[in-house]
A and B are shown apart, each in its own frame.
Chain A
Amino acid sequence: MRQWLHRMNPSVKFVIITISMITMAFFFNPWTPLVFFFGVVLFQLAFAKVSWKIWGLMMLPFLLGAIGYFWTTLVFGNDNADPIGTALSLSFRVLAFSSLSLLFVFTTKPVDFILSLMQQLKLSPKIAYSILVGYQFLPVLKDEFVQIQQAQQLRGIVKPKSPVKGILAMRHVLIPMLAGAVRKAERTAFAMEARGFTGDSDRTFYKRVTIGRTDFWMTVMFVLLVLISIYAGITGPAIQK
């Protein structure tokens, strides 16, 4: 039970989450996204092992965004019939969408997701393996970023205090980093080709990413959640009369 969301086929999870999101977009009221948000949190409590501390940290910016939406809509919105209702609808929608995205991120291994995209959704191996290689490069690029920054500090570049200037100054670091990345990417491409990679889609797979009963039951759960949320939105009381 605790692992169901992790055991789900990543492609199935991806499709069902996308469909849920699109469905949510058609219902503009405070109750639907609110119920959906709590449902998503409940799902993670019941079917997943999630570090709630990290979850909280990741949700924080979205929460601030939601509050921002609420505030600006309330103060600057020109819907005079139901300002609080509109504001709440918007901010709950932010919460519902962000929690759903985080659910996917927290319960899916990136490599499995790519493998599943190749096997179930017929993503071209050329694109799939490019993404996998890029993913391998991330920690290396992070190290290089720090090294370049330190080297340039020695030359008298001071870390600018204002964030805007900081972003502009970043280009000095990014250019050497990208130059190195291009060379590295070419070497990796050569190594992959030398090992017989052609990008053909008829390859065999050691790890079969399968679709099983878990996927069926979790899909049912998601559909139920969406339906309940919609029902709550239709029958839920209006915020202001």
Chain B
Amino acid sequence: MVMRLQNVMRMPDVIDLQNVSFQFPESEKPLFSRLDFHVKQGEKVVITGPSGCGKSSLLYLLNRLYPANCDGILSGSVTLFGRDASEYEPGEINKRIATVFQDPDSQFCMPTVEEELTFTLENAKVPAGEMDQRITAVLEETGLSDFRHAVIQTLSGGQKQRVATACAWIMEPDILLLDEPLTHLDPVTAKEFVAWLNKLHASRDLTVVAIDHQVALWDGFFDREWQMEAPKQERPQVLRQVSSEAAVSLEVHELAVSPILSPVSFSLKEGSIGVLAGPNGSGKSTLLKALCGLKSTGGSVKPDRIGYVPQSPEFLFLTKSVREELAFGGGSNVDQMLERLYLNEVADAHPFAVSHGQKRRVAIGAMLCDGRPVIVMDEPTAGQDAAALQELESLLVEQASEGVTFLIVTHDMNFAARVADQVLLLREGQLTGIFTPEKVWQDEKLLCEHRLLPPAGGERYAAVASPHESFC
């Protein structure tokens, strides 16, 4: 270890940013200014910072997507491998610096894994005769040989990220950039991906620069963390108590969608927040849609009008302004609702033009104006950073204390630990049960079976419970 550290110390800087400022042409002030950032060969660095501080843009300066693609204004010096970044031809640097992006669904351009790998090689003008051998080698190295002819669209999120990494790996780069590669994976898959990457990395000691806001998931993969900007003060958890006399606001009886979902019965009290969790394909989205009266095949739900907020809230939007959007269902208390959801300043803006957090507020507002005090939300936490999660959390807590009942699908147990009154676990189309959050965090078997990880503070609970082996 000491030897290795000494080696690192003597290594030259492969990335050397001095006094760098960057600004989008359409914005008035720079995204970041006077930044110094150095990475030595062989180092593994994670960049952290609050959302909007320009982490992704910084990464794009390193693989030369910026400034050319956004006409950004750049000052200071960006030196890559001892040469000024602007001296590289288009595409030249990408042979030495490879990138894995966050969205598994939009970083491929060919149907199958093999074709996707050849795309990288063809870009690098590798002679056709060498390609087959290199593809076979990289597939073996990454353990993806069985997927050579698989259609990428049919793979799971975790598999797609491995394929994306293989596509970077096959270029034999000196630096690997990771742009929040875990965001769209469920926690267990994310951990598996990190373990896989760790093993892969052991065979070729290259430099890694990553962005991620869940450093804990990486299990000490990185040599150091570089804070681009100090994190904002974390707000204390708002404590909320659902009164035991509260009326039942959602009553589900034997609701079924054959063959995906076996009959499900449960109820939620007014002003409570329920979290619905379970592995991918366990029927969570199907249950939500059935609750809203789409495609159920039996059973009953009370009330019959339930609000639904999809992962992309804009799927709901039908009008040209936020105010009209809220009023669409014929609600009368629009002004009051705009006030309550802090939407006054954007009341006349087009609902597509507001921020993601505001879009979600608009969607919830529209549901409430329609007279739907029970709201189900499909994965609102996916791909959200810490700040966005906090905004979502305060929104939920505020609305719940006004008597709105929520049922939220999420994999993020840290988030669940902060807001949930009840946790509903779903597996293979069957409701395992309704639990109090504490009970779920203590039960390793339950967590394991539903591919969940306990929240970061979960060890606290685990210590109280009797120590037991992992069951799966």
Residues of A in contact with B (beta carbons under 8 Å apart): 111, 129, 132-133, 136, 139-140, 144, 147-148, 150-157, 172, 175-176, 179-180, 184-185, 187-188, 190-198, 200, 202-208
Decide if B82 is an interface residue (CB 8 Å cutoff): no
Decide if B338 is an interface residue (CB 8 Å cutoff): no
* Contact status of A187 and B107, CB under 8 A, knowing A151-B310, A195-B168, A195-B171: yes
A196 vs B167: C-alpha distance when bound (angstroms): 11
A193 vs B63: C-alpha distance when bound (angstroms): 9
Closest Cβ of chain B to A169, distance in Å, is 10
Write out the residue numbers on chain B whose beta carbons fall within 8 Å of the beta carbon of A151: 308, 310, 315-316
Write out the residue numbers on chain A whose beta carbons fall within 8 Å of the beta carbon of B81: none
A175 vs B108: C-alpha distance when bound (angstroms): 24
Contact B171 A188 (CB under 8 A): no
Contact B315 A148 (CB under 8 A): yes
Write out the residue numbers on chain B whose beta carbons fall within 8 Å of the beta carbon of A188: 106-109
Closest Cβ of chain B to A77, distance in Å, is 47
Contact of B111 among A136, A152, A202 (CB under 8 A): A136
A128 vs B110: C-alpha distance when bound (angstroms): 11
Decide if B95 is an interface residue (CB 8 Å cutoff): yes
Closest Cβ of chain B to A145, distance in Å, is 10
Contact of A203 among B90, B94, B122, B329 (CB under 8 A): B122
Contact of B124 among A180, A190, A196 (CB under 8 A): A196
Q: Size of chain B's interface in residues, with CB distance under 8 A? A: 56
Contact B125 A184 (CB under 8 A): no
Closest Cβ of chain A to B286, distance in Å, is 12
Contact A192 B128 (CB under 8 A): no
Closest Cβ of chain B to A129, distance in Å, is 6
Q: List 23 A–B pairs whose Cβ atoms lie within 8 Å, in order of A's numbering.
A: A140-B105, A147-B310, A155-B318, A156-B328, A156-B329, A157-B318, A176-B312, A176-B317, A176-B352, A184-B105, A185-B106, A188-B108, A190-B69, A191-B107, A191-B109, A194-B65, A194-B98, A196-B91, A196-B124, A203-B123, A204-B127, A206-B118, A206-B132
Closest Cβ of chain B to A173, distance in Å, is 9
Q: Considering the complex, which residues of chain B in the window 69-107 have a beta carbon less than 8 Å from any beta carbon of chain A?
A: 69, 90-91, 94-95, 98-99, 101, 103, 105-107
A136 vs B153: C-alpha distance when bound (angstroms): 8
Write out the residue numbers on chain B whose beta carbons fall within 8 Å of the beta carbon of A193: 65, 69, 91, 94
Closest Cβ of chain A to B284, distance in Å, is 14
Write out the residue numbers on chain B whose beta carbons fall within 8 Å of the beta carbon of A136: 108-111, 153
A156-B370, A184-B105 known, 4 other contacts, Cβ within 8 Å: A136-B108, A184-B106, A191-B106, A195-B167
Contact B110 A204 (CB under 8 A): no
In chain B, what residue has the closest Cβ to A156? B329
* Contact status of A204 and B318, CB under 8 A, knowing A154-B294, A194-B65: no
Most chain B CB inside 10 Å of its own CB: which residue of A136, A187, A194, A202:
A194
Closest Cβ of chain A to B210, distance in Å, is 14
* Contact status of A197 and B123, CB under 8 A, knowing A152-B316, A192-B109, A206-B128: yes
Write out the residue numbers on chain A whose beta carbons fall within 8 Å of the beta carbon of B60: 190
Contact A195 B120 (CB under 8 A): yes
Most chain B CB inside 10 Å of its own CB: which residue of A148, A172, A180, A197:
A197
Contact B128 A208 (CB under 8 A): yes
Closest Cβ of chain B to A198, distance in Å, is 4
Closest Cβ of chain B to A98, distance in Å, is 27
Write out the residue numbers on chain B whose beta carbons fall within 8 Å of the beta carbon of A208: 128
A139 vs B316: C-alpha distance when bound (angstroms): 21
Write out the residue numbers on chain B whose beta carbons fall within 8 Å of the beta carbon of A197: 91, 119, 123
Decide if B385 is an interface residue (CB 8 Å cutoff): no
A185 vs B189: C-alpha distance when bound (angstroms): 26
Decide if B404 is an interface residue (CB 8 Å cutoff): no
Closest Cβ of chain A to B102, distance in Å, is 9
Contact A204 B126 (CB under 8 A): yes
Contact A191 B101 (CB under 8 A): yes
Most chain A CB inside 10 Å of its own CB: which residue of B119, B126, B366:
B119
Most chain B CB inside 10 Å of its own CB: which residue of A188, A193, A206, A208:
A206
Write out the residue numbers on chain B whose beta carbons fall within 8 Å of the beta carbon of A195: 94, 98-99, 119-120, 123, 167-168, 171
Write out the residue numbers on chain A whose beta carbons fall within 8 Å of the beta carbon of B91: 193, 196-198, 200
Decide if B228 is an interface residue (CB 8 Å cutoff): no
Contact A196 B94 (CB under 8 A): yes
Closest Cβ of chain B to A202, distance in Å, is 7
Write out the residue numbers on chain A whose beta carbons fall within 8 Å of the beta carbon of B294: 150, 153-154
Decide if B292 is an interface residue (CB 8 Å cutoff): yes
In chain A, what residue has the closest Cβ to B312? A180
Write out the residue numbers on chain A whose beta carbons fall within 8 Å of the beta carbon of B314: 176, 179-180
Decide if B418 is an interface residue (CB 8 Å cutoff): no
A60 vs B164: C-alpha distance when bound (angstroms): 43
A152 vs B293: C-alpha distance when bound (angstroms): 13
Closest Cβ of chain B to A23, distance in Å, is 35
Write out the residue numbers on chain B whose beta carbons fall within 8 Å of the beta carbon of A207: 118
* 7 closest cross-chain pairs (CB), A and B: A191-B107, A196-B123, A196-B94, A206-B118, A198-B91, A194-B99, A187-B106
